[in-house]
Amino acid sequence: MIHYLLRRLALGLVTLLLITFLVYALIRAIPGTPLTAAVAQTDPSRRLNPADLERMNAAYGLDKPWYQAYFLWLSNVARGDLGRSISRKAPVTQLIGERIGPTLALSGSSLLLAWALAIPLGLYTAARSGKPDERAVNLVLYMLYSVPTFVAALALQITFSIWSEGKLWELPLFGMTSGEAHETTIAWLADVGWHSILPLACMTYGGLAWDARFINTNLQEVLRQDYIRTARAKGAGSFRVLGHHAFRNTLIPVVTLLGLSLPALLGGSVIIEQIFTWPGMGRLFFESLRERDYPTIMGLTLVFSLLTLAGQLLADILYALVDPRVSLE
Amino acid sequence: MITRKDPTAVARDKPPRGFWGEAWGRFRRMPLAMAALLFVCFLAVVALFAPAIAGTKPVVCRYKGSIYVPCLAYFNRDWEPVVFATDKFRGEYPQNLRDKDPESWAIWPLVFQDPYRAVRADEWPGLPANPTHENGRPNSRNLFGTNQEGIDVFAKMVHGTLVALLVGFVSMGIAATIGITLGAIAGYFGGVVDMAISRVTEVVMCIPTLILILALLAIVEKPTIWKMMAVLGFTGWTGISRLMRAEFLRLRSAEFVTAARALGAGPGRIIFRHVLPNALAPVVVPITFGIAAAILTESGLSFLGFGQPPPSASWGSLLNNARSNLQMWWLVFFPGTAIFLTVLAFNLIGEGLQKATDPRLREARK
């Protein structure tokens, strides 16, 4: 087990190196530097004169060729220093630290919610296979899966914020809090919860539909096995057959999907955060890309890739845990 | 769909139809998948005849003794006949045709609206100027309403169909070419080549797709629709490559490959003539799903404002317009429904293909 983990970690490190190297090369190839991009947005009279620009380029290490700058960045990261944001004048670790909470809260609760709803739905559709209600549920799930998140987000915003103005169920259009000071933590939590209903719904429905259909297909395959017939023949009730005998055997592909859905979830959060101005990492990524803020982009890429690789590793470990035939040795 | 075979059909001696013929026979019996296929055909017809459905340029016209087809300019600006530029038409045909050549005649598109600009008052006799902002509700003249600048949404959507379909097919064509080639090489040769290609695939897979796409789009600066397709193609090949590699690993030690090698066939011939046709079935399904994903991503990027700069007819750019004024629900409803239906259609076709080509599922249904 430890041997396997070490090997996987070493491989992951190589992948991380390759990813960061590639992304660094890419972002340095984008026209404009942090200094010129930030100035272009303000008025032209504040543009730096060439001498100042040169001095600042040297100060931020932008005068070096990109591969040298990459190794400089890498050696700093190895010492635990992600650098300072050029446009925000703050340490990147601090910026990401501020933003990682909202992102993980949103994607984490979306993941939990999706699975909490998908498992009973998948079981239900498998149990009612071929009946009209099963077909209706499956069709709805299928259609949900094809609705683009940004269309759903706009539709929900229009229905629950614009058209419901002044009504009881009016939901906030964007933001994470209403911006007022809260007296207690509970009041703050309630405000955040109220604001997170729409983004959470948008992030969840697609995964929910996909997961429920996935569980359904796997269950149907398992339900054709001989041991299910045996269980039925010995007189086990349909609930017990489904929950005890069948569902446990579908866990293997389900667990794999769980690990692999992490990157998709993070990718999806980028668009959702942008629409609902949720102060998370996805929004920070958009902003820093526009500002050509190399240290922040690299820091975020590192975090995103780390989470992706961690998801894959988690999937493999869980795989061995739920399937006694799989050994990690 | 479970359909019992007609006993007379079995009795009749039919020549064997081959793998794809069989698959088509099964596909045809799935009503949902067939409906989806019909819908995609309908979209293709709309895309091809878009300038004849909505536009302000005549489909065919006779001007100063010659016949012209000015509507083709919607496909490519250079195809606009030069005579209309030298005669200073400035894109306004009805009045100019009448004034400059009383003898002229023209066949007009079904709907006189332009996807790139607002129609002015009396440009078409009796047609008022397009309303702008919140006044642009769907009405009898603007079926799907107008956007902030007064551009007709229906015309934009009709012309955007071509963009959506092109994005799907071209970007997936690029992705499939890269994925199939790399996967085939990795799977067939194995060893060091396989190691190198698999590592590259893994790295591209691990970079969050949106980061990769946004960075590439930022590099190309002014993203035209063609650059967008290239970017989507160059980032979407990893899944296909992995599937192809697995198929080739399975098939490279098959007897027919050994036989081909014994006959003296080189690796190129074995890969493309012998193995590839047998390995193609499993990747057809992810390619179809990939088309849906590419259409989704393109409209998403246009929605976020990373698409082709205006004037563009992409469905996603209409949604982008809606973002600045959510009161204009028609800017969400119509393009949103179009994207949803198109993505749904390709997903249904993919699912149908999966059922029609996967022998495992076929066995299970007996």
Tokens 């080509």 found at: B357
For residue A21, which residues of chain B lie inside 8 Å, CB to CB?
Answer: none
Here the tokens at position B305 are 């404002």
Q: Enter the ipTM.
A: 0.82
Q: pLDDT per residue over B177-186, tens digit each?
A: 999 999 999 9
Query: Do B350 and B295 touch, CB atoms closer than 8 A?
Result: no
Dist. CA A168–CA A161, nearest whole Å: 11
B300·A267 Cβ contact <8 A = no
Cα–Cα distances in angstroms (integers) from residue B32 to residues A222, B40, B344, B354, in the given order: 26, 12, 11, 13
Residue B4 is which amino acid?
A: R
SS (H, E, C) B119-185: CCCCCCCCCCCCCCHHHCCCCCCCCCCECCCCCEHHHHHHHHHHHHHHHHHHHHHHHHHHHHHHHHH
User: What's residue A267's pLDDT?
Assistant: 67
User: H-helix or E-strand containing A72?
Assistant: helix A66-78
Task: State percent of chain A over pLDDT 90.
Answer: 1
For residue B333, which residues of chain A lie inside 8 Å, CB to CB?
Answer: 155
Disruptive mutation site among B32, B167, B214 for chain A (greatest number of A CBs within 10 Å): B214
B199·A18 Cβ contact <8 A = yes
> CB contact, 8 Å: B122 with chain A?
no
Q: Which of A254, A234, A255 is nearest to A245 (CA)?
A: A234
pLDDT at A82 over 90: no
Dist. CA B36–CA B33, nearest whole Å: 5
Question: In this predicted structure, which of A273-277, B9-13, B132-136 has the lowest mean pLDDT?
Answer: B9-13
Give the closest-approach CA distance of B170 to chain A in angstroms.
21
CB-nearest partner of A304 from B211, B218, B319: B211
pLDDT at B360 over 70: no
Query: Do B313 and B255 touch, CB atoms closer than 8 A?
Result: no
Query: Do A34 and A292 touch, CB atoms closer than 8 A?
Result: yes
Disruptive mutation site among A30, A150, A218 for chain B (greatest number of B CBs within 10 Å): A150
Q: What is the DSSP string of A202-243?
A: HHHHHHHHHHHHHHHHHHHHHHTSHHHHHHHHTT--HHHIII
Give the closest-approach CA distance of B78 to chain A in angstroms.
30
CA B244 to chain centre: 23
B336·A154 Cβ contact <8 A = yes
Here the tokens at position B259 are 């036989």
Give the closest-approach CA distance of A277 to chain B in angstroms.
12
What is the DSSP-derived secondary structure letter of residue A166? T
SS (H, E, C) B19-69: HHHHHHHHHHCCHHHHHHHHHHHHHHHHHHCHHHHECCCCCEEEECCEEEC
pLDDT tier at B174 (50, 70, 90 boundaries)?
Answer: very high
Q: pLDDT per residue over A114-128, tens digit each?
A: 989 998 898 888 888
Here the tokens at position B42 are 């309908």
Q: pLDDT per residue over B235-284, tens digit each?
A: 889 889 988 998 888 888 888 888 998 998 888 888 888 888 888 888 88
A19·B203 Cβ contact <8 A = yes
Residue A174 is which amino acid?
A: F
Structure pTM? Answer: 0.85
Q: Which of A155, A158, A202 is nearest to B337 (CA)?
A: A155
The HSE-up count of residue B326 (CA atoms within 13 Å, CB side) is: 17
pLDDT tier at A84 (50, 70, 90 boundaries)?
Answer: confident
pLDDT tier at B363 (50, 70, 90 boundaries)?
Answer: very low
Here the tokens at position A30 are 């984008």
B291 burial (CB, 10 Å; 0-12 / 13-18 / 19+) is: buried
Q: pLDDT per residue over A252-278, tens digit each?
A: 778 777 777 776 677 667 788 888 888
Q: Which of B116, B119, B147, B110 is nearest to B132 (CA)?
A: B147
Query: Helix B315-324 vs helix A149-157: angle between axes, to the nearest 10 degrees?
Result: 30
- Residues of A engaging B, defined by a Cβ cutoff of 8 Å: 15, 18-19, 22-23, 26-27, 29-31, 142-143, 145-151, 154-155, 157-158, 161-162, 173, 221, 224, 263, 266-267, 270-271, 274-275, 285-286, 289, 300-301, 304-305, 308-309
Q: Which residues between 186 and 215 in chain B have a beta carbon less than 8 angstroms from any beta carbon of chain A?
A: 199, 202-203, 206-212, 214-215
Q: pLDDT per residue over A33-50, tens digit each?
A: 777 665 555 555 556 677
B207·A266 Cβ contact <8 A = no
A305·B207 Cβ contact <8 A = yes
